[in-house]
Structure formats: structure tokens, C-alpha cells
Structure 1
Amino acid sequence: MLSSILSKNTCAACKFCCSFRRQSLWETPLFPPEVAEKLSRPNEYGVVGEFAPASDGAQDAFRLVLENNYRTAAPEEEVPCTFLDPQKGCILKGEDKPFDCSIWPLRIMDKGGKLVIALTPTCPSIGAVPNQALIDLVKNGLGEKIFEYTKTHPYIVKEYREGFPIVYF
């Protein structure tokens, strides 16, 4: 969705958003039940993921379980997404890729009861400050698409965190 300002090659070379430290597991993308079911058994990708209900046993979204992949107790250790190919990037097709991944480094967040679209300030390719091209992309249709998706998939809304610049509300 961001290909007009962020090339797939740039993302595939970086892979920053596809690796998680323990303290960033809250950012692990969520999968709809039917996709989690498909990816939790042998599938066309040749990779099987482990999934758990997103929160409190809710069945409307599932998170990829990565906790068992850490090899040390070091807080800086990163574990890649199960579906990340080190050379090619994400192996998932669009219909199986989490919406969170499709809009990265944008996040839809709840800030005091109001939904906002914010930039994840740690994206090495976009940077910590939204540029005009990103703002224009969000204001010219992508923002509404994100808000629409949220209506039927409210689980993608993250709690707002300080330091995430708001791009659209």
C-alpha cells in the first residue's frame, strides 16, 4: 500500500519491521482467524507458524508466537517473523499478509478514545518524521482505507504511545 513511497526492495533489504525484541512483541502483527488457521498447518509457503489468540482468549485475531524462538535472555536479541525469508523478505502473498504489515510503518492507534494514524518513528527507511509524500498518501485515500478496515477488524488498533507522530485523524 505504500509502494509509491517505499519500494519493496528497500523493505526486503531492511527487514527491521519483521524482527522483534521481547519488548516489541506488542507490535507483532495480528492475523484473522482463517489466515492463522491456514498458516498453522502445511501450506503453499512451506512454513508453518504457531499462533495464539491475540488477547484474553479472543477468537477474532491471532498473533504469531515468537517467544519460543529466542535463544538467549538478552533483551536486545531479535527474532525474525516466521514468514521472513532472509534474502527475499516476506514470503506471504497479499491475501495472507497481515494488514499491519501492509501499512507499515503506519499504525492505527487509539489516543484517548480517538482513532489516529501514526508513524512508527523507528522505521529506518521513512524516518522518525512523516514526510509530505507520506502525509499526502494517507490524506488521499489510504487513511480512509485504514479506517474502513478497522471497522471490521478492530483488533488492529494499538494503544497510542508517546513519540509516534500523528499523520492523520
Structure 2
Amino acid sequence: MLKKILSGEACAACRLCCIFDRYDAWETPVFTDEIRRRIQEACPEAEFVTKDGGYIFKVGEIGEDQLFSCPALTEHGCMLGDDKPFDCRIWPYRIMEVGGRRAITIASICEELYNRPLSQLVEFLKEGLADSIFAYADEHPEIVKPYYEGYPVLMFERKELSDPVWGY
């Protein structure tokens, strides 16, 4: 989904989005049942827990200096290829709930995109990615994460008000 703005080579060299420490374990992606089964077939030791109709990795206690790697990450990259979970396909964009509204944010850990002008990141969203993200979240509300401080908000969802704000 992001090939126009983020190179596969940059992702392959980095892989930070596939490795979690004790502070960002909440960021593990949400999987469909089909993808969960594919991962478990290849990695029977992978454990999952349900999350609002989807699945996330069961991440045990992570020590101060320990890391948790996504079981789908191999030495050749993601074993899921283009069938990655939606969270992974839109990374480092995130969809979060901010003050009761859904918003698209960006993770600062992705240096490739985070160091670009915000106007470029927002423009890419306006070219159709934002519509895709919000539509997917309509069907899969489990991917919407609570807002986490430090994630710049790039765009709020445009919602038409059903009730008039002013009683004129």
C-alpha cells in the first residue's frame, strides 16, 4: 500500500516495525483468523489472544533489555509477503482513537517516513490511503488503537454531523 512513498529496500534493511520492546508491545498487529492460522502452521510456538474479533500475539513478560520479534519475521523478511495484516501494510501510519474520533497518526520509529515533510505524508493520505484506512476500520474496529502520546496526528476522520450543532 505504501510502495509509492516507502521503498521495500528501506523496510527490509530496517525491520523495526517487526520487533517490540516492553514499551511498544501494545503495537503488535491485529491478525485475521486466516493469517493467524498461516503463522501458526509455520511457527507452532506462536501464541495468540483474541482482540475484539481479531487476534494479537500473546506477548509474555518482556524484560528491560529484551525484545519480542514477530514470529512471521524470517531472515528473508516477512513470511506473509503481500498478505501482511492491515496494520503492517499501512505502517508507519496508525489509526487511533483521539478524543472519541478516529485519526491517522504516524509512528516516529520509522525514520524513512518520519523525516519527510508532514505535508507530503498528509498528501499521500489524501490520495486515497486515508479512505482505505477508515473503510477498513469500519469493517475491523479492532485495529483502532487508543491514542498514545508522541504520535503526531496527521488527519482526523471527516464525519458529517447527523444532528445540527446549533439549534437555529
| TM-score normalised by length of structure 2 | 0.83
Partner of 1:113: 100
Please point out which of 79, 83, 86 is paired with 2:68: 79
Partner of 1:50: 46
Question: Do residues 36 (structure 1) and 29 (structure 2) align?
Answer: no
Q: Letter of the aligned partner of 2:54 in structure 1? A: A
Question: Do residues 148 (structure 1) and 138 (structure 2) align?
Answer: no
| TM-score normalised by length of structure 1 | 0.83
Partner of 1:163: 150
Question: Do residues 90 (structure 1) and 78 (structure 2) align?
Answer: yes
**Does the 8 Å CA contact 1:22/1:67 hold for their aligned counterparts?**
no
RMSD between aligned residues: 2.0
How many residues are aligned here?
Answer: 156
**Does the 8 Å CA contact 1:122/1:128 hold for their aligned counterparts?**
no
**Does the 8 Å CA contact 2:39/2:71 hold for their aligned counterparts?**
no
C-alpha distance in 1, partners of 2:119/2:78? 27
Please state how far the C-alpha of 1:167 moved relative to its aligned partner. 1.1
Please state how far the C-alpha of 1:140 moved relative to its aligned partner. 1.2
Unpaired segments ≥5 residues, structure 2: 157-168
Question: Do residues 134 (structure 1) and 121 (structure 2) align?
Answer: yes
**Secondary structure in 2 aligned to 1:54?**
strand
Unpaired segments ≥5 residues, structure 1: none
Please state how far the C-alpha of 1:52 moved relative to its aligned partner. 2.3
C-alpha distance in 1, partners of 2:105/2:50? 21
Q: Letter of the aligned partner of 2:77 in structure 1? A: G
C-alpha distance in 2, partners of 1:155/1:130? 30
Return closer, same or farther for 1:49/1:105 CA change in 2, 3 Å cut-off: farther
Cα offsets for 1:95-141 (capped at 9, x unmatched) = 3x111000000000000110000011221222267533321110110
